């Protein structure tokens, strides 16, 4: 389990409540015939393809919002993404260690399914999300689906991709690319399931500090491989309405070709 915040070990003295509201969409795009993405917004699960943004509100003390991008082919990819978000929706211990444990259980379950069923060979998924637990707010990811935070008129990427591109950047072999990544850099360095052997994975967790309120964007690479981070920022930052942001980002990805499934969630968090 990898933590990217040095203050992770310090839990808040007061158990605060983080409410969340926003909108999301999950769509097959222009090219794919099946939506291999899946989305979870609290108790709302989507494994189909939605044509318009859906508004959602969460006022529970504990909640999970996540998006999963399936890999392994149409049937295997769709199966994996749904298993990931369904598994997270049933997570009894919504804490970093509890969510980490659940992701590892799903990882082992997908490997077993792929080994037992030829139709599910290679079934796996990238996942990204955030959750409120014990008076704190966390982000998490495995793979290249991303979590962004809007702050000070800018959009900041919270998550670090598990990709060949990011690996080469970390090793100093190439510079970070501010534009859309090239096609030969799409390979993942880790995922939930997705391999014939049971490989050890380390989900990433990020402690998110919110003074009063904040806006986050969760998305699969159906958005980020179609629209650059600079253009996502240009589109999203001026808009206040979360539904309008989701629709505008979705439209931009579709206009750019919509070559992959597209899942986008805009999450407005307020600390009570």
CATH number of the CATH domain containing 96: 3.60.40.10
2, 170 in Cβ contact below 8 A?
no
For 99-153, write each residue's pLDDT tens digit: 999 999 999 999 999 999 999 999 999 999 999 988 899 999 999 999 999 999 9
The rounded distance, in Å, linking the Cα atoms of 122 and 214 is: 37
Q: How crowded is residue 247: how many other Cβ atoms within 10 Å of its Cβ?
A: 18
Give which of 23, 52, 25 is closest to 261, Cα–Cα. 25
Q: What percent of the chain has pLDDT above 70? A: 95
Helix, strand, coil percentages for the chain (3-state, nearest 5): 30, 30, 40
Give which of 30, 51, 84, 69 is closest to 220, Cα–Cα. 69
Domain extent for 217: 2-271
Mean pLDDT of the 81-86 span? 97
Write the burial class of residue 122 (CB in 10 Å: 0-12 exposed, 13-18 middle, 19+ buried): middle
The total number of structural domains in the chain stands at 1
Task: Flag whether pLDDT at 31 surpasses 80.
Answer: yes
The rounded distance, in Å, linking the Cα atoms of 167 and 160 is: 10
Enter the pTM of the model.
0.93
Residue 126 bridge partners (DSSP): 69
Residue 118 is predicted with a pLDDT of 95
142, 69 in Cβ contact below 8 A?
no
Give which of 126, 137, 128, 150 is closest to 249, Cα–Cα. 150
For 6-28, write each residue's pLDDT tens digit: 334 444 445 678 999 999 999 99
Query: What are the φ/ψ torsions at residue 167 (nearest 5 degrees)?
Result: -60, -45
Give Cα 157 to chain centroid, integer Å: 12
């Amino acid at each position: 389990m990898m933590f990217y915040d040095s203050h992770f070990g310090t839990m808040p003295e007061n158990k605060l409540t983080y409410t969340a509201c926003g909108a999301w969409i999950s769509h097959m795009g222009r090219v794919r015939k099946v939506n291999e993405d899946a989305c979870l917004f609290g108790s709302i699960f989507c494994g189909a393809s939605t044509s318009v943004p859906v508004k959602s509100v969460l006022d529970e003390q504990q909640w999970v919002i996540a998006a999963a991008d399936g890999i392994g082919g149409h049937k295997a990819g769709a199966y994996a993404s749904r298993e990931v978000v369904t598994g997270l929706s049933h997570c009894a211990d919504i804490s970093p260690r509890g969510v980490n444990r659940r992701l590892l259980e799903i990882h082992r379950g997908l490997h077993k399914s792929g080994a037992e069923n030829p139709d599910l060979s290679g079934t796996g998924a990238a996942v990204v999300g955030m959750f409120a637990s014990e008076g704190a707010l966390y982000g998490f990811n495995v793979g290249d689906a991303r979590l962004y935070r809007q702050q000070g008129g800018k959009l900041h990427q919270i998550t670090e991709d598990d990709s060949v591109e990011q690996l080469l950047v970390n090793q100093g072999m190439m510079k970070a690319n501010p534009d859309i990544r090239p096609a030969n850099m799409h390979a993942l360095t880790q995922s939930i399931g997705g391999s014939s052997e049971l490989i050890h994975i380390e989900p990433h967790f990020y402690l998110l500090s919110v003074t009063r309120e904040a806006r986050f964007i969760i998305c699969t690479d159906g958005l980020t491989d179609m629209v650059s981070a600079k253009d996502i920022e240009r589109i999203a930052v001026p808009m206040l309405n979360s539904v309008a942001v989701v629709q505008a980002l979705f439209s931009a990805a579709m206009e750019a070709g919509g070559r992959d499934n597209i899942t986008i969630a805009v999450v407005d968090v307020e600390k009570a």
